[in-house]
Amino acid sequence: MTMSWNNAPVRLVIADDHPVVLLGIRALLQEFRAELEVVGEASGARELQALLSTCECELLITDYSMPDDVGSEDGLAWLKRLRRDRPALPVIVLTMIHNPALVRGMLDAGVNGVVAKAAMTRELVLAVRTVLGGRTYVSEDLRDVVVDIPTAQRAGSGDDGAGGEVSILSRREAEVVRLYASGLSITQIAERVHRSVKTISQQKNNAMRKLGLTSNSQLYEYARVKGLTT
């Protein structure tokens, strides 16, 4: 595969809280080192923010969830803030999430590409080419979950939808389920996303009611099976 960018290499920043994933990204891009130059790496959201303030780059490849040792915002919130602070920076998100509301939410937050981590080795370079060409890229494994989602089921349509399918969870409900399944308590989720404990508890209960789940163990298993974990 050849790339036809300008003479100067495209400057990239890569970010993931798992060192093995960072290593994998570097290895994938190494073949194209004449066209792509990794100029910075980060393993947490705060580290990434500091890096972007001092390092000029033309593309960011980042994990969806970027926790720090002191905690961080939920994925969608920090992606929105990233887009607000750097509206012109192309962003590709790597994720293990397959939930329609959250994938759609990433695109609605303004990211330029979403690549499933399971498909990274075969699709990341293609995604880079597509995004640098001014188009949006969605991983083949994820396209079915973001195409033709009814407006009422999209993230941002409110927190009180009805029905029992995963796609009908609001973005906030889906994110609460994801964080809860990752091991955070209701109080910890509230602190992380800057909402009240009462609100988080209600959103968790609403999600369980919509999905027909009656126990936390069912919720954990549901999150694992339905791609709500990172």
Cα dist. 43→17, 61, 67, 102 in Å? 4, 12, 8, 22
Cα dist. 82→27, 53, 99, 110, 179 in Å? 26, 11, 22, 9, 20
When divided into structural domains, the chain yields a total of 2
| Nearest residue to 53 (alpha-carbon basis) of 86, 27, 101 | 86
Rounded (10°) angle between helices 186-193 and 171-181: 130
Q: Are residues 134 and 195 part of one domain?
A: no
Q: Are residues 95 and 46 part of one domain?
A: yes
Question: Model's pTM, two decimal places?
Answer: 0.67
Residue 190, helix vs strand vs coil: helix
Tell me if 90 is assigned to some domain. yes
Q: Are residues 27 and 123 part of one domain?
A: yes
Tell me if 1 is assigned to some domain. no
pLDDT for res 227: 67
Q: Which amino acid is at 159?
A: D
The greatest distance separating any two alpha carbons of the chain, rounded to the nearest whole angstrom, comes to 59
**pLDDT at residue 69 is higher than 70:** no
Q: Are residues 159 and 139 part of one domain?
A: no
Q: Give pLDDT tens digits for 79-116.
A: 888 889 999 999 999 998 887 778 888 888 899 999 99
- The domain boundary residue, chosen from 123, 146, 169: 146
165/199: higher pLDDT: 199
Q: Are residues 174 and 218 part of one domain?
A: yes
The pair of three-digit structure tokens given for residue 138, joined into one six-digit string = 């969605």
**Domain span at 202:** 155-225
Cα dist. 29→64, 124, 155 in Å? 19, 9, 33
Q: Are residues 122 and 42 part of one domain?
A: yes
- The domain boundary residue, chosen from 127, 146, 165: 146
Q: Are residues 215 and 189 part of one domain?
A: yes
Tell me if 230 is assigned to some domain. no
| Nearest residue to 93 (alpha-carbon basis) of 120, 73, 68 | 120
pLDDT category at 168 given cuts 50, 70, 90 is: low
Q: Are residues 50 and 112 part of one domain?
A: yes
75 touches 206 (CB < 8 A): no
Q: Are residues 141 and 161 part of one domain?
A: no
Q: Are residues 127 and 19 part of one domain?
A: yes
Q: Are residues 172 and 80 part of one domain?
A: no
